[in-house]
């Protein structure tokens, strides 16, 4: 009680006299009094300042603790900066009387823990920075009183997990920074509370996967930073719910393939960064569903080699494509784009590209074309590029990326700037002659093969005809009916037997059919079935479908 009375007496004294401004501080006395004591060597919060002070900056001092008694002198504070001190603890309810405080900076201290009442009373707080401390956990409801908080920075701590209710009460939160902690699992449940988030920074943690529905309640999220983790897998519905997302950063992860299916819910995405991952190609329809994407950055992928057919299909509004620092990236399919009408900026520097398809895009539509540091083969197939570069950068070449792209081969053009090459420098005669020789060789090979086939057929024509005849004979024999033991042999029609004239020919000729057409076979008459009085001869058979030599009966 005595301490409180003494503090009250001091408050009355300072209110009625000129406020004290400590050495090393800058104090202003106007409608909004402010005190700046950054780097003044203070070991505690001064209590003799103007009690009407609105802004108090005590950064870069040696303050080790914060108590309610010290801060109670300044109930009108709206801005308090205690960053880069040596604060180890925050007393229970230390900020309870700062009911007008809007910005609180506690970053760069040694704070290891927080309790539920740490930020009690800060009902008007809009921005809280507790980054660069040593926090290992966040208690449930630690921010419960901060209903108007819009920006929360907890980056650069030692958080390994977040309790499900750690962010309870943050109904107005817009920006949440959790970068450079030790989170190994997506805090799905904790993220349910701040449903109005616009920015979520989870970069440089230890996340290895994005499970289904990790952000399902963040329908207003516009910026998601996931770079610098160890993400190997993004589930098919990992981004479900992010219908308003504008920017997604997935750099410095371990993705072995482009997560094309996972991108489909991101219908409003504007900017995508995929650099420094492990995929080796940009497959067909790699960015399917991203119809509103305007900027695509693919940089530093050590294993990336090519962009396949329709790799960029569906990107109808793509304005900027940056594919740089991919040391094995050497090929872009001639049909990699579907409708690149919106493309204005194409950056392909520091890759392994030797040539580009002339019909890849409409080169005249570009405002920037960066082709630096590639081993360009300045042969006839690349003859379209120098005019395209001159169209963009002018005949003299502005101080830009255009003039810096040089030829690596052929030897006579090595080191020459692409933009300076003329028609006389690029020799197409060799290429034309080579194409002519290839055409002649292909046509000659085809004619030779065809001639060989004809000669083989002519040489073995007798064998071929014999094989065909034998096959026909076997087929006709297979259609013959062998009568059963119940057949009546007594009234067998003579029309089923061979004509007399057929037997006058030699046997060799009689082994094949001598009648033509189906009319002959349809004319055969099947005898009626009657009770036979003949004795059964198992060796006797009647062929009813076609004539057969008498020796075969």
Contacts of 280 (CB under 8 A, 6+ apart): 303, 304, 305
Query: % helix / strand / coil in the chain, to the nearest 5?
Result: 20, 15, 65
* C-alpha closest to that of 360 among 381, 391, 379, 390: 381
The answer to whether residues 68 and 183 belong to one domain is yes
The answer to whether residues 435 and 485 belong to one domain is no
> What CATH number does the domain containing 130 carry?
3.80.10.10
Last residue of a domain, one of 389, 417, 439: 439
Instruction: Read off φ and ψ for residue 445, nearest 5 degrees.
Output: -65, -40
Give domain status of residue 526, yes or no.
yes
Cβ–Cβ under 8 Å, residues 264 and 293: no
Rounded Cα–Cα distance for residues 273 and 248 (Å): 6
Q: What is the pLDDT of residue 14?
A: 45
The answer to whether residues 411 and 487 belong to one domain is no
The SS3 of residue 30 is coil
Q: What is the pLDDT of residue 471?
A: 58
Tell me which residue range forms the domain holding 419: 372-439
The answer to whether residues 163 and 40 belong to one domain is yes
Q: What is the pLDDT of residue 18?
A: 52
- Other Cβ atoms closer than 10 A to 126: 17
For 423-433, what is each residue's pLDDT tens digit? Answer: 777 877 654 55
Q: What is the pLDDT of residue 224?
A: 98
The answer to whether residues 415 and 547 belong to one domain is no
The answer to whether residues 431 and 484 belong to one domain is no
Rounded Cα–Cα distance for residues 246 and 27 (Å): 43
The answer to whether residues 399 and 531 belong to one domain is no
For helices 429-459 and 461-478, the axis angle rounded to 10 degrees is 60
Q: What is the pLDDT of residue 444?
A: 77
The answer to whether residues 186 and 40 belong to one domain is yes
Q: What is the pLDDT of residue 117?
A: 92
How far is residue 105 from each of residues 50, 58, 87, measured CA to CA in Å? 21, 10, 12
Give domain status of residue 423, yes or no.
yes
Residue 344 tokens read as 């204005």
Rounded Cα–Cα distance for residues 134 and 91 (Å): 17
Give domain status of residue 223, yes or no.
no
Residue 392 tokens read as 């963009």
Instruction: Read off φ and ψ for residue 7, nearest 5 degrees.
Output: -65, -40
Q: What is the pLDDT of residue 518?
A: 45
Give domain status of residue 245, yes or no.
no
Instruction: Read off φ and ψ for residue 346, nearest 5 degrees.
Output: -125, 115
Q: What is the pLDDT of residue 361?
A: 95
Rounded Cα–Cα distance for residues 105 and 127 (Å): 8
The answer to whether residues 380 and 484 belong to one domain is no
Residue 462 tokens read as 């007798």
Give domain status of residue 446, yes or no.
no
How many distinct structural domains can be found in the chain?
Answer: 3
Give domain status of residue 1, yes or no.
no
Give domain status of residue 4, yes or no.
no
What stretches in the chain show pLDDT beneath 50? 1-5, 8-17, 396-397, 399, 431, 480-525, 530, 532-540
Contacts of 222 (CB under 8 A, 6+ apart): 198, 199, 244, 245, 246, 247
Rounded Cα–Cα distance for residues 87 and 105 (Å): 12
Q: What is the pLDDT of residue 447?
A: 83
Instruction: Read off φ and ψ for residue 316, nearest 5 degrees.
Output: -75, -20
What distance lies between CA 91 and its chain's CA centroid?
47
The answer to whether residues 397 and 501 belong to one domain is no
The answer to whether residues 528 and 386 belong to one domain is no
Rounded Cα–Cα distance for residues 170 and 152 (Å): 9
The answer to whether residues 120 and 184 belong to one domain is yes
Instruction: Read off φ and ψ for residue 10, nearest 5 degrees.
Output: -65, -40
Give domain status of residue 460, yes or no.
no
Last residue of a domain, one of 206, 232, 261: 206
Q: What is the pLDDT of residue 530?
A: 47
Last residue of a domain, one of 382, 414, 439: 439
């Amino acid at each position: 009680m005595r301490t409180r009375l003494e503090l009250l007496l001091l408050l009355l004294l300072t209110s009625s006299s000129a406020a004290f401004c400590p050495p090393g501080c800058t104090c202003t006395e106007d409608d909004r009094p402010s005190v700046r004591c950054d780097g003044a060597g203070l070991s505690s919060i001064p209590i003799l300042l103007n009690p009407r002070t609105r802004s108090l900056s005590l950064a870069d001092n040696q303050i080790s603790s914060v108590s309610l008694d010290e801060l109670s002198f300044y109930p009108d504070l709206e801005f308090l900066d205690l960053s880069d001190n040596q604060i180890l603890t925050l007393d229970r309810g230390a900020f309870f009387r700062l009911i007008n405080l809007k910005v609180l900076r506690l970053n760069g201290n040694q704070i290891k823990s927080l309790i539920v009442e740490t930020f009690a009373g800060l009902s008007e707080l809009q921005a809280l920075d507790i980054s660069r401390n040593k926090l290992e956990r966040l208690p449930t409801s630690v921010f419960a009183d901060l209903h108007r908080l819009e920006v929360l920075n907890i980056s650069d701590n030692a958080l390994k997990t977040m309790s499900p209710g750690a962010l309870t009460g943050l109904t107005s939160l817009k920006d949440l920074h959790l970068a450079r902690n030790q989170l190994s699992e997506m805090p799905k449940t904790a993220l349910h509370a701040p449903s109005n988030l616009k920015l979520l920074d989870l970069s440089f943690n230890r996340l290895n996967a994005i499970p289904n529905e990790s952000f399902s309640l963040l329908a207003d999220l516009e910026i998601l930073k996931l770079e610098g983790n160890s993400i190997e897998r993004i589930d098919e519905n990992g981004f479900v719910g992010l219908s308003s997302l504008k920017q997604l950063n997935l750099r410095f992860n371990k993705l072995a393939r482009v997560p094309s299916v996972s991108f489909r819910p991101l219908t409003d995405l504007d900017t995508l960064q995929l650099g420094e991952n492990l995929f080796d190609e940009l497959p067909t329809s790699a960015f399917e569903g991203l119809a509103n994407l305007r900027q695509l950055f693919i940089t530093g992928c050590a294993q990336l080699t090519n962009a396949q057919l329709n790799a960029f299909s569906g990107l109808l509004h793509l304005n900027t494509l940056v594919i740089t620092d991919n040391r094995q990236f050497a090929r872009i399919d001639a049909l990699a784009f579907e409708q690149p009408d919106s493309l204005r900026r194409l950056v392909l520097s520091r890759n392994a590209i030797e040539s580009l398809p002339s019909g890849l895009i409409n080169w005249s539509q570009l405002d920037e074309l960066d082709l630096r540091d590639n081993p360009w083969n300045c042969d006839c197939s690349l003859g379209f590029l120098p005019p395209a570069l001159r169209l963009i950068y002018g005949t003299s070449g502005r101080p830009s990326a255009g003039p810096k792209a040089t030829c690596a081969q052929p030897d006579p053009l090595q080191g020459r700037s692409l933009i300076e090459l003329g028609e006389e420098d690029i020799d197409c005669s060799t290429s034309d002659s080579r194409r002519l020789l290839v055409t002649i060789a292909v046509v000659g090979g085809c004619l030779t093969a065809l001639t060989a086939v004809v000669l083989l057929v002519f040489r073995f024509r007798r064998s071929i005809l014999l094989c065909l005849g034998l096959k026909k004979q076997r087929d006709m024999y297979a259609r013959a009916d062998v009568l059963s033991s119940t057949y009546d042999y007594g009234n067998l029609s003579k029309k089923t037997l061979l004509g007399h004239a057929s037997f006058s020919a030699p046997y060799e000729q009689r082994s094949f059919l001598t009648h033509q057409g189906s009319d002959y076979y349809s004319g055969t008459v099947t005898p009626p079935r009657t009770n036979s009085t003949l004795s059964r001869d198992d060796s006797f058979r009647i062929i009813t479908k076609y004539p057969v030599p008498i020796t075969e009966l």
